[in-house]
Each structure stands twice: as C-alpha cells, then as structure tokens.
Amino acid sequence: MTEDSYLKSLDSYLDGLANAGETTYAIRPDEYSASVSPRQSDVPLRITHVSYTLVRGGLEQWLRALARFADPRRIKIVRCIVLTSHVDPRMAADVGLPVEVGGPELVCQAATTTDVLLCSNVFPTGNFLPSGRRPLCISVAHGAAEWIREGVVQAQPWLDHVVAVSESVRRYVGDGVATSVIPNGVDPEHFASSCSRARMRESLGLLPTDFVVGFVGRMAPEKRVEVLIEMLAGAPRHFKGLFVGWGPLHAELLRRANELIPGRFAVASADRYLGDYYHAMDAFCLPSGSEGCALALLEAMLCGLPVIATPVGAAPELIVDRVNGVLAEGSPSAFRDAARLVEQYPHWARAIGAEAKATAERWGLGPAMARQYENLFHRLWSLKQAHASPCEPSISV
C-alpha cells in the first residue's frame, strides 16, 4: 500500500460521516506562546503528536492509550496536529487532546513550544522545524510499507530516533537508523463487555451450536478479510463469520459474503464494548498481508481467544505456533484447517487461549507501553541536552 492509497482508503468512511450530518474534521486549538522558556527538570516533557489522520483505527487507539496511561509528571501530550482533513470528531473527543488540522507551518510553530515532536507514520523534513531551538524529533513506524521505509531514509537529517512497533518493522526500516522497538499496548477499556456471550450471540443471529470465527479491524486491502469469507465457504455450515469494523471494502465484502456464505455471517460496526464481540467468537482470525503490531490481535489474546494469524508483523513475535495461538499461511484452506483444529479440540483451544492471554498481559497492555515511551523520551532528551549524536546503535526498550 502506498501513502496515497492509505489516505484515499479513508475517504468512504469520512464521506459516511459527512452524509450523516457530522463534520469531517475537528479543530480544538489551545493558546500557545510563540516561544518557550528553558525547560525545568521538575516539569514533564511536552509532546506534540503529528499524524496524517485521526480516525478510528489502530494508530489512533495507540495514541489514546499512550495519552491515557502516560505519567503526567513525566510526559504530557499537549496537542495533536493532523496533516489532512481525515479526522473523525468522535475519535478526537475520545483521545481527549487538543486537535488541530494544518500543514508543515503549523508543525513548525508547534515545534517552538514543545520538547518532543512525536510523528506517527510521518517523517519530518526541514520545513517542519524552526530555525532556532529544535525539539527532540522522533518518528513512530507503525507498519512495514515501502513509503514508511523511504520516509525514514529521507528524514534522517532531521530525525533523532525511530520507534518501530515490532521487530519485523525494525528490520524493514533497516539498519543505520537509531531505532527502538516498543510493541503496542492496548487500553483494557476498549474491549470491555456489557452483556453475556449468549445474549450477544443471540442479538447477532448466531446459534449456541455455531462455531464463530471473527475479525475486528479496518476493512482494507491489506487486512485480506476476503480470505475468511472464502474459508467459510468451504467449511461446514455451522461455521459462521463475525466481521466487526469499517473501511473502504465494507460494501464489497458484504456483497461477497452474501454471494458465498448467505445467512452464515454477521457484520457490525462498533467503537465501544468490543469485548462483547470478541467473547461472541470461538476463534479470532487475522489474515493480514502486512501488519505492524495489530491491536486487535492483542485484544483478542487478552480476551483469552484462540487466535489464528498470518506470520506477519508482531504475530510471529507474540505467537508460538500451537502453544498460544496458530500461525497459518494466508490461504483460505490454511485458515480453514486451523479453525477446524480449534473446533475439534476444545480443551486444547481453551489452553492456547489461556496462554495467549498470559502472553498479552506481559507484553500488550497500555500502561507498560507508556512506561517504555516515557523512559525512551527522557533518555533521548538527556542525550540531546548533552549534545550526543543521534546516530547511536539500535536498541530495544
């Protein structure tokens, strides 16, 4: 996926918001001084976050968790700058931070009043930065895409550091760049439950005897949701699908499901109580062609679900095949075989679900992620203040 296609893939979602009578961007400016006095050691590092979008996706849930769990005595995200009009006002409200839409000039102005410029899938150039005092400049690579790798290379003269959300992303970004690996962490509130499994399944038209395979996420080409539809088409009739999310392929996937598995699937769009949907599943499937560190995978693991995933992104770093999940090559038949194993051996399925939960509790929670970012920011700030070279060896936090 290219940078342009990533941005264009959001248009149908935002058009839907506009047609529903909602604005497609939000501006919540605060007052900032034109210059900043020297930072005191007993005040938190001030952070400006920069991204292309602020919609209901993985990057934004990562930002929400970081803002929520960061220790305000150590770091404080003071504003979010979005470089396009791709802003969901509901997500902006959820993040709970001042949000402004603008270009490099706005970033440059913000850089005069901040300690850390934290860029998500954005790689700053000279017009992002003021001519005088410059903040610590860090980019977070949330995925493995060619445009992300090229962005890192082009931004090296202005970057102090790169954070990769998985070891596979770090390898993709390449050597020669000062990089830390900090896996994503999720907010448990995001996958809270409000009703029982039985009640949720009944509301979705799913029977107690159905074996339900599920997907949660953005319905976009790289997620390859069609693999699950084709997998179900060749599975026994009591195998059914639960697809939760939104995206540019939503209508096409619905058409395909009606054609191949009529009456054997449910589709939902939700941004609250996702645990209700996870607990309605018997197995969670992620057939993505590329990933960084999928939050939906972590959420499913934290819900104790058996997970079946392609070995991309953080999946092979988190999952030991058939111990705390199943790694499957990306064909419908491979996912069908894995799902049938989970159905045929329920005791084993419960065991790998329990192991998945234990793994995600060790590595995938928002508070632990926030501590790692805090430590990294303060260490890099100290190095920058001491005029250390930004081109230090790669590290893993």
Which run of H or of E encompasses 211?
A: strand 211-218
> What's the CA gap between 153 and 338, in Å, rounded?
39
Percent of the chain scored above 70 by pLDDT? 87
Is the domain of 148 the same as that of 44? Answer: yes
| Residue 288 pLDDT exceeds 50 | yes
Is the domain of 56 the same as that of 13? Answer: yes
Direct distance between the N- and C-terminal alpha carbons of the chain, in angstroms, rounded to an integer:
28
pLDDT tens for each residue of 332-385? 999 999 999 999 999 999 999 999 999 999 989 999 999 999 999 999 999 988
> What's the CA gap between 93 and 95, in Å, rounded?
6
pLDDT of residue 4: 55
pLDDT tens for each residue of 136-177? 999 999 998 899 999 999 999 999 999 999 999 999 987 778
Give 242's pLDDT tier (boundaries 50, 70, 90): very high
Which candidate, 237, 258, 226, places its Cα nearest to that of 335? 226
Residue 16 lies in a domain: yes
Give 7's pLDDT tier (boundaries 50, 70, 90): very low
Residue 253 lies in a domain: yes
Q: What is the dihedral of CA 252, 257, 258, 264, to 10 degrees?
A: -150
Residue 391 lies in a domain: no
Quick one: CA dihedral 184, 246, 321, 348, positive or negative?
A: positive
Is the domain of 209 the same as that of 358? Answer: yes
pLDDT of residue 41: 58
> What's the CA gap between 106 and 49, in Å, rounded?
12
pLDDT of residue 31: 28
CATH number at residue 196: 3.40.50.2000
Is the domain of 174 the same as that of 240? Answer: no
Is the domain of 195 the same as that of 160? Answer: no
Residue 132 lies in a domain: yes
379, exposed or middle or buried, with CB in 10 Å at 0-12, 13-18, 19+?
Answer: middle
Which run of H or of E encompasses 193?
A: none
Task: Say how many domains are in the chain.
Answer: 2
Is the domain of 311 the same as that of 164? Answer: no
DSSP one-letter code for 321: B
Is the domain of 47 the same as that of 149? Answer: yes
Residue 394 lies in a domain: no
Residue 392 lies in a domain: no
pLDDT of residue 24: 28
Which run of H or of E encompasses 312?
A: none
Give the helix, strand, coil percentages of the chain, each rounded to 5.
40, 20, 40
> Residue 136 is encoded by which pair of tokens?
């610590």
Is the domain of 140 the same as that of 212? Answer: no
Is the domain of 213 the same as that of 224? Answer: yes
118, exposed or middle or buried, with CB in 10 Å at 0-12, 13-18, 19+?
Answer: buried
Is the domain of 176 the same as that of 224? Answer: no
Name the residue range of residue 342's domain: 188-363
| Contacting residues for 197 by C-beta, under 8 A, at least 6 apart | 279, 280
Residue 397 lies in a domain: no
Is the domain of 165 the same as that of 199? Answer: no
Is the domain of 267 the same as that of 133? Answer: no
Residue 390 lies in a domain: no
Mean of all residue pLDDT scores within the chain:
88
In the beta sheet, which residues pair with residue 217?
245
* Mean pLDDT along residues 72-83: 97
